[in-house]
Amino acid sequence: MVLLLMQSNGWGKTVFHQPRAGVGLAIAMLMTFSVLSACASEQGSEGKPVGKPVGKPLVKAELERAAITDADLDGYEVEQILAAPSASRRTADPAACAPVVQATGGSSGFTAVARIGRMMSPKKGGSGTSMILASHDAGDAAKVIDALRSAAKRCKSFLDVGVGFRYDDVALRPDPGYGDESVSLRLTQLAAADADDEPVRVPYAVVAVRQGATVAMFYEFNRPRGAGDADAAAVPEDIIRTQLNKLNTLNKPGKPGKPTASK
């Protein structure tokens, strides 16, 4: 095969010429390196493929139509909660743990095209589940999941700089298999009014799911109602699957996910 090089001649014209053998070898090596570099750029910080979200980002009105309501979810009351499209400003110490503390409020360090929020409260009482739906530009939705997964792997304890609460026992759970990709984690907030008080241990659970260019972030916490530690927090599977199935009506390339949940 004869390799032809295309090069500008400096006057707006394009010329072709056949390189010498040594130059051809160097070019072939450069092309191979370029392919490898391109492949690496499509991987997350853990070496796993990030890929590009499928489909265009949903606008706010579409997210509102895709959000679950009382009629979709038996046994729960659903109400709106505030959610801004701007990137979260919550920080952590160490700084690398910021994606985890941001996820405890359903957000991330990436600006969204649109964000909306819902709170699902059991009619029989008990802890409620919050959910934030965020649509992102190409690439950012996958980066949200990758950043959270990576931070959960390396951060076992950190400080929420804004409020001064510590979090510990951060544990990345087995992948629940929702949507195009998902992350599940648990952690414990150490809440205290001041430094001299004995902190209250508040279990948290977070499940983040990417479906196309949309990220659904679910989070729940169990505040102790008396002496002793509270039970471990968990996001109900029926809430996750109901929301993903409804979102799928607008985001066709996504998939509801496997019938598994964070335990």
Instruction: Round to whole Å and give the CA distance between 137 and 58.
Output: 9
pLDDT at 145: 98
The confidence score (pLDDT) of residue 14 equals 38
- Containing 24, the helix (H) or strand (E) segment is helix 21-41
According to the model, what pLDDT value does residue 229 have?
A: 66
- What is the reported pLDDT for 154? 95
Q: Measured between alpha carbons, how far is 11 from 7 in angstroms, rounded to an integer?
A: 11
Are 171 and 187 in contact by the 8 Å Cβ rule? The answer is yes
Q: For position 42, what pLDDT does the model report?
A: 41
pLDDT of residue 38: 39
H or E, element range at 241? helix 237-248
**pLDDT at 5 (0 to 100):** 37
The reported pLDDT for the residue numbered 165 is: 93
User: What integer pLDDT is reported at residue 88 of this predicted model?
Assistant: 97
Please tell me what DSSP assigns to residue 49.
B
Query: Can you give the pLDDT of all 263 residues of the chain as single tens digits?
Result: 443 433 433 333 333 344 444 434 343 333 333 333 333 334 444 444 444 445 789 999 999 999 999 999 999 999 999 999 999 999 999 999 999 999 999 999 999 999 999 999 999 988 899 999 999 997 999 999 999 999 999 999 999 999 999 999 999 999 999 999 999 999 999 988 776 778 899 999 999 999 999 999 999 998 876 555 668 899 999 999 999 999 988 755 444 444 334 33
Tell me how crowded residue 187 is: count the other CB atoms within 10 A of its CB: 26
Between the alpha carbon of residue 43 and those of residues 37, 56, 95, 161, 200, the distances in Å are 10, 21, 22, 30, 39
DSSP 84-101: -SSPP---EESGGGHHHH
34 by DSSP, 3-state: which? Answer: helix
C-alpha distances out from residue 28 to 2, 14, 76, 125, 263, Å: 12, 21, 61, 66, 51
At residue 158's C-alpha, the angle toward residues 145 and 152, to 5°, is 25
Place of tokens 């160097």: 26
DSSP one-letter code for 259: S
Model pLDDT, residue 127: 86
